[in-house]
A = this chain, B = another copy of it.
Amino acid sequence: MVENVHFLPNDPPETIGRKLLRCNLSDLAAMGARPEGWLLTLARPQNLEDEWFEGFCKGLKEDQKLFSLSLLGGDTTSTKGPLVLSLTIIGSVLPGQAITRTGAQAGDGLWVTGTIGDGALGLRALQGHLSDPSGYLSARYRLPQPRVGAPLYGLASAAMDISDGLLQDAEHLARQNDLGVEIFSAEVPLSAAARHCGPQWLETCLTGGDDYELLFSVPPEHEADLEHTGSLGTVLGQVPVTRIGRFHSDYKGVRVLQAGGTPLTFQKKGWSHI
């Protein structure tokens, strides 16, 4: 993460480090892996204040405890440029139990954890483009909730986490499996705060990114159980899961359909067609 690219100098230091750590945890969660430890390297500008650094470390310390991690190493160096933070996370998974991005079959359902779009709306709220009276959306942007511990093995045929936007990442997942995927926009779970923003923000929710939710394919034989329980256990508690679409073999890429079956078109290029 680079200052002025991934965060701003006036962002709260407590959440910058936590977000970096949590984005990494989300990657592990998507593979069904258990985090073991992390390494942190900083290129630190000389004018960075100790107070900033203390807040940064305090936030990381909290998350280290929350997720039962050990700091294994790293390095600190000086730079005349912006602050650069590099974090490596190491996790483990039993042999043969890692979930990858390939393995989805035509007919599998496409499922997500949690709600989609909160992070993207939170960023817009912090930029002053929409109101966020409860602060829920900006909190979701600043502090992702990685779904560490979600028991994907034996359930999901393929998985990834959503960081670049639901549609972009669903497109990646479909293409890596040489499949198409149909997404029903009315099924995409939105938080109360996101719904409150109004339908004009739906496109932002679907394409905006910063979700750090899990996106995974589930073979039909496992879907009834999942539908019944409606949630998965994670180290931070139960998280709801929702089927939002299905994989097909007769086309490649992503189709988004509204309730009733008409294709959804987007202002932003690239999402109006397959």
Contact = CB atoms under 8 A, between A and B. Distances in A.
Contacts of A43: 2, 43, 84, 86
A82 interface: yes
Interface string A1-35: 11011100000000000000000000000000000
Contacts of A75: 86
A42 to B, nearest CB: 9
B41 A79 contact: no
Majority DSSP secondary structure for residues of A touching B: strand
A6 to B, nearest CB: 7
Nearest to A79: B2
A97 to B, nearest CB: 18
A226 interface: no
Contact of A84 (B6, B73, B79, B90): B79
Given A84-B84, A88-B88, A78 B41 contact: no
A81 interface: yes
Nearest to A83: B81
Interface string A76-104: 01111110101010100000000000000
